[in-house]
Structure 1
Amino acid sequence: AGVSLAALFGNEHVGSVRRRETPSSELDPAASRVRRWKEVSCVKSPELQVVLLEAREKEGAPTLTILPLPAHQSVTHKSIRHVLDRGFPMLLCAVAADSTLVYQRMTDGLVTPDPPVGPFQDVGRRQHRKRRQQR
């Protein structure tokens, strides 16, 4: 059984981000970016009955395999496994009716997320409780 890309990404995000990548850990507009693909080529996949794209994000960068599918189409674990087994990093690309693209990086196994970047201050639970009690 497959899962639709709209369900995977969330309907509110398919159609809201125009040609930008949305990180899997967060849907933060400041973290999205425009893609400028280099060395794009098409590869037929008779098993999946789709055309895969191979491209680089910039000169000298590693080749990525992109699986573009309409947002309403279902995707299965088997189809993702088939693309991952090609050996290149994979991007699943949900394509909305208005040409909006939402990318999701797919990996073989679990990947630890990068720590957040920014000037954060650890307040601690006790200080937070004290502030609530003072109100």
Structure 2
Amino acid sequence: MRKQWPDTLVVVVTEQQPAAIWNAEQLINKKEVFNAPLEQLQAALPILHGPVGTEQDALNMFSNMQQLLQLHDFSVRKVWLTERFAWRLELSDGLLLQLGRDDTLKRLQRFVDLYPTDATT
């Protein structure tokens, strides 16, 4: 909101498109974290957790993980970036994966490559 001379107020409203829930308290879009009432969400959103300042890193990693996993009919429910910057994720079926700090997407690809083989034995 700003005042325009001489006697007008200009109000700019920007609609937010949430991409995920951040630290169970806020929402995150492709650019920033913002506050909104979570109980009014219409769609189920993924849940991202991480230290302050890592919001965009978490969102980018979630996007990369989701793209890789969707090709194999998996879906990401939650992603954590720990204080030690290690990645962990929960799939929609409840399976929890600890991916560590290094070569995260390679480790996830290894899971995708091996899981169907392990599931049939």
Q: TM-score, normalised by structure 2?
A: 0.24
TM normalised by structure 1 equals 0.22
User: Which has a greater percent of helix?
Assistant: 2
Higher relative contact order (Cα pairs below 8 Å, separated by 6+ residues): 1
